Structure 1
Amino acid sequence: MFARFLMTAGALAITAGTAAADYSLTILHTNDFHARFEPISKYDSGCSAEDNTEGKCFGGSARLMTAINDAKARSNNWVLLDGGDQFQGTMFFTYYKGMLAAEMMNQMGYTAMTVGNHEFNHGPEVLRGFIDAVEFPVLMSNADYTGEPALKDALIKSTVIEQGGDKIGIVGLTPKSTEELSSPGPNVIFSDPAPAAQAEVDKLTAAGIDKIILLSHSGYQTDRYLADVVTGIDVIVGGHTNTYLNSNDEKADGPYPTMQNGVPIVQAYAYGKYLGELNITFDDAGNVTEAVGGPIVMDASVTENEAVKARIAEAAKPLEEIRNKVVAEAAASIEGNRDFCRAVECQMGSLIADAMLARVKDQGIDIALQNGGGIRASIDAGPVTMGEVLTVLPFQNTLSTFEVTGAVVKAALENGVSQIEEGAGRFPQVAGMTFSFDASKPAGERITSVMVGGMALDMDKTYGLVSNNYVRGGGDGYKMFRDAQNVYDYGPDLADVVAEYMASAGPVTPYTDGRITQE
């Protein structure tokens, strides 16, 4: 069944003969599941029951359950870890919040999870409900949450488990930028990951723990940095950047595991499309002597667990009427992949920005700006359901209109392209304007030209903007919008705006038109 599971050491240069004192552990891992309880298409969006029957779909909780059970059966000593962002992404989360995720993760037998930024999307209270419902520890070391009543007695920084006759320490990390990326509220103060991780590793080491896993929702490049600067880490299991690692796939973002300063780093893309399986051997001193494994693709060759499939179908019933309503037609697939929408003008970004601007064209609004990170999927050609639109725009953001000067517009665009190398979600998709940038210049100095309504941006002029309430409130680094004038944050839901715009346009032909250019 798992012929595509690649047992390769990749970049690992350390090997040793097996001794009686060696300790072997299978680390099974997922990350950035984003409520994809049902199978997904190759575009990471919804996949019909017919396509699933024909073997065209991937993932889903039912396949993941089968793969996890089979992987456990192949190992006599395993842990199952999640790198964060179980929350947000489909109507299942909109309806159930974290409760369905908790139910599924309990059934699958997770050992531990770190908090992702999206776990805060509906505030600390919803996260607390999830923590209370799960049967495993939820970790976050790089934040002070003692002032947040909902979390101060619920979260822990690290945990120690007894597994296969030995003790393993697990430390959790959350993005330092979670305040910008989500809605943790004023009482959770995030800090740099490296010192926080080092402090927990030192505590575990002082307690005699010599096998330590860093469960990090920090992103692939940050994890490589942590491997260089934090001492005492044996393995990093990551998330946040949806990184696909595979030593035998030229299209992968890197080898599996990626060896950095002697530390194996793994991540399993996103949306339940892969189950990561890393087999680690430690010597008697707790040093890693072997690390081999690879991602297991959750394609049609993985049989769906019937009990889980039935449970997800039951959970989907309340969503069906809303989700299955056909609201528009797409003449061709509309590209909404993060690789595009966080780096260049993308088809879905232009469509969404145009829809936003069209909705408020009679209110004196000049410019629309949508953060690329708020675009979560593509749409297939053919009939478009409300469920598909909600998968693209799952955050229940509302339209925000406001006024700022041209200088603030320029600052916003500089913010938008400031982290393009990292694939950050702040990249701006726009309408009513064009802009050019030079990514080779320092962040803050990259915007080279801006035109609004066919005229050069006037730094002193006041412009009307439309965005979503998350961006207007300072999300994704757009803090310059917090002091905007004539603010109204309570417009219609962005997903409804886009659905109605698509419906009015007839069959939607995807397009880009050069509104964003890179020099």
Structure 2
Amino acid sequence: MQRREFNKMLMLGAAAGLALPTLGRASASAGNAYDVPRFGNVHLLHTTDIHGQLNPIHYREPSVNIGIHAARNRPPHLVGEALLSQFGIAAGSREAHAFTYLDFVGGAEHFGKVGGFAHLATLVKRLKANRPGALLLDGGDLWQGSATALWSRGQDMVDASKLLGVDVMTGHWEFTLGADRVTEIIENDLAGQMDFVAHNVSDADFGDPVFEGHTLREINGVPVAIIGQAFPYTPIANPGYLTSGWTFGIQERELQRKIESVRADGAEVVVLLSHNGADVDLKLASRVVGLDAILGGHTHDGIPKAIEVENAGGMTLVTNAGSNGKFVGVLDFDVRDKKIRGWEYRLLPVFSDLLPADHDMSALIASSRAPYEEQLSEVLGTTDGLLYRRGNFNGSFDQVIVDALMTELDADIALSPGFRWGTTLLPGDTITMEDLMAQVAITYPATTLAERSGAEIKAILEDVADNLFNPDPYYQQGGDMVRVGGLKYSIDPMADAGKRINDMELGGKPLTPGGRYRVAGWASMDPNADGEPIWDVCARYLRSQQTLPPVTPNQPVIKGISDNKGISAA
């Protein structure tokens, strides 16, 4: 009997009144999972990194999320049992399934899918009804990540987020639609309804701000400033030509001046809506004074509790609300006599089966998808194994992409970007064009094939490794390690820059610095790249395979670290 059939039998048993084993322990409290008591008088709801996902999905959390130096064995660099222990989450519970990879397939089949804007809308309405004046903030990566978001140039997500009631947002992957399209949306679609804020984006010629740096809102008589921090490394992580003429950066000093300015204008609560990534936010919170909270995004970390960071001015709360519409953060402040007297924070997993679909949002989603349904529903194949992406190194869906590149382009080695977005498929699921596009839907999809030396390949891997494992968070520019097909190697995260990658082998033979190798890739930063789009290459590969056997990701040998709670022991 297959695992899926076994779990279905468990469900039938539960319906007949039989007790479920470990996975059922949280079921009794599921009905009131979203009855979050109101606290205080200032209420902020937070979503981030939704990546174009309008419908419910599965999303597996990482089993490898390595923290080094100051980040070692501290949130967000905890996985599996270590995370459960840190935050007091019961094994086998709904929360354990939401926050970890543990027994993911069994949990997914038992607890169902997560997210979906129709279900998210129901939850947001409930929370706002119990929290008069609450603001809904989105941390960016909202308009990208799905086929429909790509094909509609972000319009489906813009329309859905307006209906959801997003009040303030910042950005990152939004900018890959191009500066003109971003400007068009802000001026024509968001005006008067949603503020797009980013204090750290300026005109390269004169230094003028491209966007409003903050918005000042009043919640139950309390002035609240929301400062926007767009992804600081956008022109490096994504093609610079898409935002030509704009400069980005962390801009710590400018942020400090902005905080002082909004305080002078009467703000009693100051929050940074950030797309820095968790480690950058933690460092920033320790150095900048006057922020009450950082509501963070970019690294897709579901951190169950807010982290208190001390600084010269007192304390700043740092949060990160996961991705794909899987979580909603709820931050309440009790503000009296112009001072914060207390706070409470909850990160709520959005289980679709527990939240009825909102009728208006369902209708909007159906309407926005209607022109594309035939393309979306094309079946490319079936998977016998779990397909996922998230983690510091190759995921199984990443492995499918590099296998497709090597097979279809006749390459020795394939390199695929360490993107963190991308949904999860369970064993036995069909793979549709929509599922594929959830991994590859970008505005610069061209595939490449080039002859590179062994020395060049090592330099590429070293550069990305330093981006991921640099001991200074301000030099970590986002994303995970480049996914590698064909090539075996070892990595020492604790080594100095340029010395982390070793033991490179191809076909059981050492990769030589002077050797020449055919290397395939995609997501080229070159504006003149004209190779076949990655989705066409992968779709052709999947059609030829028909049924994918369980995929074992090509993982490097990790050296130089021990007792690290960011690596699964399994």
Q: TM-score, normalised by structure 1?
A: 0.83
Aligned to 1:351: 400
Q: Over residues 216-255 of structure 1, what are the superposed CA-to-partner deviations in whole Å (9 max), with x where a residue is unaligned?
A: 1111121111221111111211111111122xxxxxxxxx
Is structure 2 residue 520 aligned with structure 1 residue 466? yes
Q: CA deviation at 1:93?
A: 0.3
Equivalent runs, 1:224-373 vs 2, <5 Å: 224-246=282-304, 256-261=305-310, 262-334=315-387, 336-339=388-391, 343-361=392-410, 365-373=411-419
Q: Give the one of 210, 216, 222 matched to 1:160.
A: 216
Aligned length: 467
Shift in alpha-carbon separation, 1:244–1:423, aligned structure 2, 3 A: farther
Shift in alpha-carbon separation, 1:489–1:411, aligned structure 2, 3 A: same
Shift in alpha-carbon separation, 1:5–1:197, aligned structure 2, 3 A: farther
Q: CA deviation at 1:105?
A: 2.2
Q: Give the one of 419, 429, 447 matched to 1:399.
A: 447
CA contact (8 A) 1:245 1:295 kept: no
CA distance in 1 between counterparts of 2:514 and 2:338 reads 65
Q: Secondary structure at the match of 1:467?
A: strand
CA contact (8 A) 2:59 2:424 kept: no
CA contact (8 A) 1:215 1:236 kept: yes
CA contact (8 A) 2:225 2:270 kept: yes
Structure 2 residues not aligned, in runs of 5+:
1-29, 62-107, 470-475, 560-570
Q: Give the one of 534, 538, 547 matched to 1:498.
A: 538
Q: CA deviation at 1:423?
A: 10
Structure 1 residues not aligned, in runs of 5+:
10-17, 45-51, 247-255, 475-487
CA contact (8 A) 2:201 2:210 kept: no
CA distance in 1 between counterparts of 2:367 and 2:111 reads 22
Q: CA deviation at 1:413?
A: 1.0
Q: CA deviation at 1:118?
A: 0.4
**Most deviating of 316-325 and 444-453:** 444-453
CA distance in 2 between counterparts of 1:514 and 1:80 reads 40
Q: CA deviation at 1:111?
A: 2.0
Taking every aligned residue pair, what percent have the same amino acid on both sides? Answer: 24
CA distance in 2 between counterparts of 1:42 and 1:24 reads 34
CA distance in 1 between counterparts of 2:326 and 2:547 reads 30
CA contact (8 A) 2:233 2:477 kept: no
**AA aligned opposite 1:346:** G
CA contact (8 A) 1:77 1:164 kept: yes
Q: CA deviation at 1:444?
A: 2.4
CA distance in 1 between counterparts of 2:421 and 2:365 reads 25
Q: Give the one of 20, 29, 53 matched to 2:46.
A: 29
CA distance in 2 between counterparts of 1:220 and 1:449 reads 31
Shift in alpha-carbon separation, 1:195–1:375, aligned structure 2, 3 A: same
CA distance in 1 between counterparts of 2:109 and 2:368 reads 20
CA contact (8 A) 2:145 2:421 kept: no
CA contact (8 A) 1:355 1:497 kept: yes
CA contact (8 A) 1:401 1:489 kept: no
CA distance in 2 between counterparts of 1:513 and 1:63 reads 33
Q: CA deviation at 1:2?
A: 6.3
CA contact (8 A) 2:295 2:319 kept: yes
Aligned to 1:387: 434
CA contact (8 A) 2:47 2:328 kept: yes
Q: Secondary structure at the match of 1:161?
A: strand
CA distance in 2 between counterparts of 1:119 and 1:178 reads 10
Aligned to 1:41: 58
Q: TM-score, normalised by structure 2?
A: 0.76
CA distance in 2 between counterparts of 1:469 and 1:4 reads 41
**AA aligned opposite 1:4:** A
**AA aligned opposite 1:83:** G
Shift in alpha-carbon separation, 1:313–1:514, aligned structure 2, 3 A: closer
CA contact (8 A) 1:349 1:375 kept: no
Shift in alpha-carbon separation, 1:453–1:327, aligned structure 2, 3 A: same
Q: Secondary structure at the match of 2:353?
A: coil
Aligned to 2:99: none
Aligned to 2:266: 208
CA contact (8 A) 1:98 1:129 kept: no
Q: Over residues 33-68 of structure 1, what are the superposed CA-to-partner deviations in whole Å (9 max), with x where a residue is unaligned?
A: 111111213559xxxxxxx99983322111111111
Aligned to 1:443: 497
CA contact (8 A) 1:35 1:86 kept: yes
CA distance in 1 between counterparts of 2:343 and 2:429 reads 49
Q: CA deviation at 1:459?
A: 1.7
Q: Secondary structure at the match of 2:450?
A: strand
Q: Over residues 359-412 of structure 1, what are the superposed CA-to-partner deviations in whole Å (9 max), with x where a residue is unaligned?
A: 221xxx432111221762333323221111111222251211223332211110
Q: Over residues 403-446 of structure 1, what are the superposed CA-to-partner deviations in whole Å (9 max), with x where a residue is unaligned?
A: 33322111101123224457942512222322111122123210
**AA aligned opposite 1:433:** L
Shift in alpha-carbon separation, 1:506–1:291, aligned structure 2, 3 A: closer
CA distance in 2 between counterparts of 1:507 and 1:290 reads 51
CA distance in 1 between counterparts of 2:421 and 2:316 reads 33
CA RMSD of aligned residues (A): 2.9
CA distance in 2 between counterparts of 1:147 and 1:423 reads 24
CA contact (8 A) 1:245 1:268 kept: yes
